[in-house]
Amino acid sequence: MELFWTLLPSFIAGLKVTLGYWSITLVASFILCLPAVYLCLHGVKPIQYLMRAYIYVMRGTPLMLQLMFFYFGLPYMGIVLDRVQAAFLAFILNYTAYFTEILRGGIQSIDVGQGEAAQLLGFSRTYTFIHILLPQALRNSIPSFINETLTLLKDTCLVSVLGTDELLRYARIGAGTYATGVPFVYVGIIYLLLNLPMVKGLNWVEKKLNAYR
């Protein structure tokens, strides 16, 4: 336990970075996926094709590769980002693509008759999407959103490839300094402790939303 208390300040510093990437990516990606899914379903054809290509690329390539491309590759195109900007850009674009696809599936699981009925009543396509289809799709997609939220927390350790001092990187430093693998055990326990309230909280939200079905 003495080693734990020695490493605790480093773990706290790394935890702040981890939670920062997690929370900002989660909020930004969720907000961006709402207009993105609308464009995927109702945008003009060129926009739909562009959105599908974007989703295909972001889901079809490793997140680590995307991180390295934005940080190491973009400078060759004249675009220079620092490690924080590159990390946020990669994470937000990646998870926006996943959230968009989840939400698209949720919308397509709704009976098409609801959209047709709304149009017959004179509602616009945008109104129908926002007020009729989207609330149902969000409820239908909650389990998938929960899974991606937990995956995002674990994926934050990938920013260490850019030299960012997040939680896992501090564990590596501690393991190298003290020649022991115990710091990795401590970090594993920290991740498990973080997951528990997240799962409980997200399940509570799911139950509350399902109560309004």
pTM of the predicted protein model: 0.88
Q: How many domains does the chain have?
A: 1
CATH number (domain holding residue 89):
1.10.3720.10
Domain span including residue 52 = 2-210
Per-range mean pLDDT, top range of 34-38, 170-174, 187-191: 34-38
Tell me if 145 sits within 8 A of 19, measured CB to CB.
no
What does DSSP assign to residue 160? G
Mean pLDDT of 2-31: 88
**pLDDT score recorded for residue 136:** 87
Burial class of residue 162 in the structure, from the number of CB atoms within 10 Å of its CB (0-12 exposed, 13-18 middle, 19+ buried):
buried
pLDDT in tens, 116-171: 788 778 788 888 888 888 888 888 888 899 899 999 999 998 998 888 878 888 78
If you write DSSP's letter for every residue of 41-69 in order, what string do you get? HHS-HHHHHHHHHHHHHHHHS-HHHHHHI
